[in-house]
Structure 1
């Protein structure tokens, strides 16, 4: 059964096909993608396939992705989750994206803290990593606030829109 997580203001729940339009809107928005390291999503069919893949990833214990909802309001304001989950090595990488209208309100930190707690306690992770474009000031500040330590730079690690970007590597150790 997919774990539903609650914070003071948020519900983190499984993504469904009903979220497809919201995900398409988010991940086709140039402001969101500017620092995300992926190309724009282009169709609802593409999003439905991605949602299906998230479900498979959880079943296979190699990833988990939640939709972020405000308590008492239907519809997601973003996504958060782990990919590159290795039960053998007890590690995963965290990633998150919020819709621009939800930026600057502390929702990302609230969700990140809850997911970190879940990762360490329920998934028995020892290490949570993060890869962030060096230019992504908001995300770099958020990870530092959440207790992550910057380990180094991966040069030309992410290629997006015909440009290669350097990234910081972060870790949080339980």
Structure 2
């Protein structure tokens, strides 16, 4: 994992970088790829399914520059790979990290690298970070464990078995 070259976000820029990736605010030019994330059945398999056209239109208007939403792009060619989102106080007062990546970029370690960078940076300002995934999403569970998160609870939410992971400072 190349997270050792993380540079912390600076006020006003909200960006991070790793050896291979730049995590920056979403730009208008990113919206078509981000829309694919919201509508791709494979990406959304463990996220409640593709979102409706109405929700897509609302999100398209709000995603560019949204606080806490990182567009993950390769530094070499600026291709958008996915999103990582940080929501302070989202789950019982704890900061939640979530992520989704386009299927053609799965299996290259990009998600692990990006999520590790965001978790490390977030833990500088908050005592703990949580992430939620479906119990059936084994790839996501392995990723969360690889970035040092620990399974702390299991429950049913959104009509599916969920697992909550946490990492503390």
Same fold (TM over 0.5): yes
SS at match of 2:142: helix
Structure-1-length-normalised TM-score: 0.82
The alignment of Structure 1 onto Structure 2 pairs a total of residues equal to 156
Whether the 8 Å CA contact 1:70–1:76 is kept in 2: the answer is yes
Q: Give the CA RMSD over aligned residues.
A: 2.1
- 1:36-51 superposed matches below 5 A: 36-37=47-48, 39-42=50-53, 45-51=57-63
Question: What residue number does 1:165 align with?
Answer: 160
- 1:1-174 superposed matches below 5 A: 1-37=12-48, 39-42=50-53, 45-51=57-63, 55=66, 58=67, 64-83=68-87, 85-86=88-89, 91-121=94-124, 124-155=125-156, 157-158=157-158, 164-174=159-169
Whether the 8 Å CA contact 2:73–2:81 is kept in 1: the answer is yes
How many Å separate the matches in 2 of 1:11 and 1:95?
Answer: 17
Measured at CA, do residues 116 and 78 of structure 1 come closer, stay the same or move farther in structure 2, by a change above 3 Å? Answer: same
Deviations 1:8-58 (A, max 9, x none): 100000002221111111211100000123542536633323415x62xx3
Structure-2-length-normalised TM-score: 0.84
Deviations 1:125-155 (A, max 9, x none): 1110011100000000111111111111122
Q: Please report how far the alpha carbon of residue 81 of structure 1 lies from its aligned counterpart in structure 2 after TM superposition.
A: 1.8
How many Å separate the matches in 2 of 1:12 and 1:90?
Answer: 25
How many Å separate the matches in 1 of 2:62 and 2:163?
Answer: 26
How many Å separate the matches in 1 of 2:25 and 2:49?
Answer: 22
Measured at CA, do residues 36 and 73 of structure 1 come closer, stay the same or move farther in structure 2, by a change above 3 Å? Answer: same
Gaps of 5+ in 1: 59-63, 159-163
SS at match of 1:32: coil
Gaps of 5+ in 2: 1-11
